[in-house]
Amino acid sequence: RGAIAFKDVHFAYDPARPILKGISFEVPAGKTVAVVGPSGAGKSTLSRLLYRFYDVQQGAITVDGQDVRDITQQSLRGAIGMVPQDTVLFNDTIAYNIRYGRTAASDAEVEAAAEAAQIADFVGGLPDGYRAMVGERGLKLSGGEKQRVAIARTILKAPPILILDEATSALDTKTEQEIQAALDVVSRNRTTLVIAHRLSTVINADEIIVLKDGVIAERGTHGELIDRD
C-alpha cells in the first residue's frame, strides 16, 4: 500500500521563481526512494506537496493511483508518518508525545513503540519514566532523544507512507548511526520518501533522485550514481 507518484509536478512559492519544474518519479509500495540535492533545491517542498501543506500548480501527485486532492486531509495525513530534521515536542509528557494523534492507544502500545525506538534507556533515568515531562531532568531532551520520540510516534501510528526529511542531519555521527538504524527498522516494508543532503546517507535506497535547478538532474541506485562521478 501507499505507492506514490509525482507526475510532472510544477510548483513556485513566488511565480517569478519556479522551484519545481516538471518532476516525475514514483515510490513503489514498500520501497524507499531518496531525493538528494543542494540546499534550496526544493526537496522539502516535495514532501510538503505530498502532505498537502501546499498544492501542485501543474501536474499531480497520486497515492495508490488517487490524486491527493481527492483524498480527505484526515485520511491523507493519517496515511503519512513524518520524521522531520528537528522534532518539536509538545511541552507535555513523553507518553503524550508518542501518543500524539492516537489518543486511544493503550499504555502497553505506547511502551511497545517506545521500546522499538529504543527510548527505554533514557526514560529509565527519569523520575516518572514515560510520565516525565519532555523538559524535565533540568535540561531538554537531546536531539537524538527527540528523534527517538518521533520514531516511536511513527511506529505507533503505523502509517503505510513514511517521510524522512533530513531526519538525522542535525545529529552527531554516532547518534546519527543509532537513529539511522532505528529508521531502517521503521521504513522496512513502508513506502518511504527520504530527503537528504548527501548521497552517502542514502546508500540503501532503492532509487535516488538528484534534484537540481528544479529538475531531476540524475537518478539511479547509489552504486550507479557513484560510478558516474
Q: What residues contact 36, with CB distance under 8 A and at least 6 apart?
A: 43, 195, 196, 197, 198, 199, 202, 208, 209, 210, 211
Residue with the three cell numbers 533515568: 125
Q: Shortest Cβ distance from residue 127 to ligand ADP (Å)?
A: 26
19 binds ligand ADP (CB under 6 A): yes
Q: Tell me if 90 contacts ligand ADP by CB under 6 A.
A: no
Task: Look at residues 123, 147, 117 and name the one whose alpha carbon lies nearest to residue 136.
Answer: 123
Among 15, 16, 39, 121, contact with ligand ADP (rule: CB under 6 A): 39
**Cβ closer to ligand ADP: 32 or 45?**
45
Q: Which of 15, 16, 40, 227 binds ligand ADP (CB under 6 A)?
A: 40
Q: How far is 82 from 85, CA to CA, in rounded Å?
A: 10
C-alpha–C-alpha distance, residues 36 and 209, integer Å:
6
Residue closer to ligand ADP by CB (options 101, 135) is 101
- Report how far apart, in Å, the C-alpha atoms of 122 and of each of 14, 134, 137, 166 are: 44, 11, 10, 23
Residue type, 168: T
Residue 35 CB, nearest approach to ligand ADP (Å)? 8
Distances (CA, A) of 152 to 12, 26, 53, 63, 120: 34, 27, 23, 24, 11
The binding track of 99-118 with respect to ligand ADP, each residue x by CB under 6 A or -, is --x-----------------
Nearer to ligand ADP (CB atom), residue 32 or residue 87: 87
Cβ at position 138, least distance to ligand ADP in Å: 26
Q: Which listed residue (99, 146, 153, 190) binds ligand ADP by CB under 6 A?
A: 153
217 binds ligand ADP (CB under 6 A): no
CB 141: neighbour CB atoms within 10 A?
22
Q: According to CB under 6 A, which one of 27, 32, 33, 45 is a site residue for ligand ADP?
A: 45
> Counting contacts by CB under 6 A, is residue 78 touching ligand ADP?
yes
Query: What residue ranges bind ligand ADP (CB under 6 A)?
Result: 13, 19, 37, 39-45, 74, 77-78, 82, 84, 101, 153, 157
